[in-house]
């Protein structure tokens, strides 16, 4: 039966009733997931439901969410299917509209059902066939393997019960990993902190989100992103934990290399007494590095205030190069004099070019340095020759 025959109001009523049941009421993540997909579907956007939109709009993930390394949506979808199945399989269930999350997609389905009358259990048509469950498990494991993630299950106390892929990565057998033996595969520097964080999550029932290094079978340590969510019983207590470990070693090392490169550049710029700057073409606001305080007595402000420091005779040449650069019509390259905050005349050399940042904004970025010595030294040398 389609949603038009059931009626939008009846579906909303069924959703509200589900969200007030203990398994969902005590799980904000599952409630947010279910409410979001149902409302998006009723709004005609069900076919647009993807891991990214669910993660960022419903589960609180940032806009940098990457479903290839973060399995939160798949894990929560699997958990939600289990909870819904338990709710509708309960003989005491009085709901007359069934909301399900079909396998392989996130758009929910709706079906009119007869409320249970006393003790009769739901018909076999309400529960997925054994073959369907097996196929679902195979698909899930294939997704985990395709995403290069490790899947694992643990008891309510956090002790490991089962893993898929961790033994192959670490070279440790399943018996060595079970319980809290998996901690031995972590780098010694992170082991105690991760254990404390994991035990705290198990006590509070809050999801785990941690990064740590794991020793692989070749003896090398690689950075992993570990996430876990609790699966609750119908009474709302934690029945077990399910989680994933995703290899993020390349991302971590790339970020570290970038930080190192940026620090080296900062030190080089400071040693050379070079000022870095950028201009927002839209607002014409200027931001300079700390060395701008030494050169001009200011590090940020409107572009016009910086231009006002330039000796009037040099300003036309500066603008002839600057304005086209702000429009992306060429590079900025100028040498000019300024009167600094202490009334001294300085010669500056500045270069820059327009770039587009990751968020789509355009910035004119560049460097400037004091080249006064190039002009002062020859003049002093000429005066010395005259005196001689």
Structural domains for the chain: 1-77+87-125 (no CATH), 148-267 (3.30.450.20), 272-379 (3.30.450.20)
Contact 101, 254 (CB under 8 A): no
Place of tokens 């968020």: 359
pLDDT for 44? 87
Give the bridge partners for 225, in sequence order. 211, 246
Place of tokens 């029945």: 239
Query: Which tokens in the block code for residue 63?
Result: 């806009």
pLDDT for 279? 94
pLDDT for 269? 64
Read off the pTM.
0.46
Q: Is the dihedral of CA 356, 357, 360, 366 positive or negative?
A: negative
pLDDT for 146? 46
pLDDT for 387? 46
Please choose, from the candidates 131, 124, 152, the residue with its C-alpha nearest in 3D space to the C-alpha of residue 231.
152
pLDDT in tens, the chain (388 residues): 467 788 888 898 989 999 989 888 888 889 999 999 999 998 888 888 998 999 999 988 888 888 877 888 888 888 898 889 888 888 888 888 999 998 878 999 988 886 544 444 444 444 444 455 555 555 555 544 444 568 888 999 999 998 888 888 888 988 899 999 999 999 999 999 999 999 999 998 889 899 999 999 889 999 999 998 888 877 778 889 988 888 888 888 888 888 887 777 777 666 667 888 999 999 999 999 888 888 888 888 999 999 999 999 999 999 999 999 999 999 999 999 999 888 889 999 999 999 988 778 899 999 998 888 877 544 444 444 444 4
pLDDT for 135? 57
pLDDT for 244? 86
Helix, coil or strand: residue 136 = helix
Contact 156, 239 (CB under 8 A): yes
3-state DSSP helix/strand/coil % of the chain, to nearest 5? 45, 25, 30
């Amino acid at each position: 039966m389609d949603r038009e025959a059931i009626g939008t109001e009846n579906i909303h009523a069924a959703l509200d009733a589900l969200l007030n049941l203990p398994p969902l009421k005590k799980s904000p993540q599952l409630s947010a997931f279910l409410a979001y997909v149902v409302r998006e579907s009723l709004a005609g956007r069900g076919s647009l439901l993807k891991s990214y939109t669910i993660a960022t709009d419903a589960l609180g993930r940032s806009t940098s969410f990457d479903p290839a390394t973060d399995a939160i949506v798949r894990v929560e979808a699997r958990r939600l299917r289990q909870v819904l199945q338990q709710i509708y399989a309960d003989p005491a269930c009085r709901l007359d509209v069934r909301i399900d999350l079909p396998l392989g997609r996130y758009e929910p389905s709706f079906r009119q059902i007869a409320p249970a009358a006393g003790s009769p259990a739901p018909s076999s048509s309400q529960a997925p066939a054994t073959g369907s469950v097996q196929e679902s498990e195979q698909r899930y494991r294939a997704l985990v393997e395709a995403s290069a993630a490790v899947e694992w299950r643990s008891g309510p106390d956090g002790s490991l019960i089962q893993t898929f892929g961790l033994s192959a990565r670490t070279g440790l057998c399943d018996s060595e990993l079970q319980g809290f033996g998996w901690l031995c595969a972590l780098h010694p520097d992170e082991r105690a902190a991760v254990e404390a964080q994991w035990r705290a999550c198990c006590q509070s029932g809050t999801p785990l989100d941690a990064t740590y290094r794991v020793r692989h079978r070749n003896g090398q340590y690689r950075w992993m992103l570990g996430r876990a969510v609790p699966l609750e019983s119908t009474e709302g207590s934690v029945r077990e934990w399910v989680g994933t470990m995703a290899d993020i070693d390349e991302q971590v090392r790339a970020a570290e290399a970038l930080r190192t490169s940026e620090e080296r550049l900062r030190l080089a710029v400071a040693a050379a007494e070079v000022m870095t700057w950028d201009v927002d073409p839209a607002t014409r606001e200027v931001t300079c590095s700390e060395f701008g305080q030494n050169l001009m007595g200011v590090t940020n402000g409107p572009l016009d205030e910086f231009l006002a420091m330039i000796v009037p005779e040099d300003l036309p040449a500066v603008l002839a190069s600057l304005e086209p650069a702000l429009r992306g019509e060429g590079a900025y390259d100028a040498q000019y004099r300024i009167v600094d905050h202490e009334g001294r005349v300085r010669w500056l050399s500045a270069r820059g070019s327009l770039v587009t940042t990751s968020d789509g904004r355009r910035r004119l970025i560049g460097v400037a340095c004091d080249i006064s010595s190039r002009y002062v030294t020859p003049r002093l040398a000429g005066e010395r020759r005259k005196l001689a």
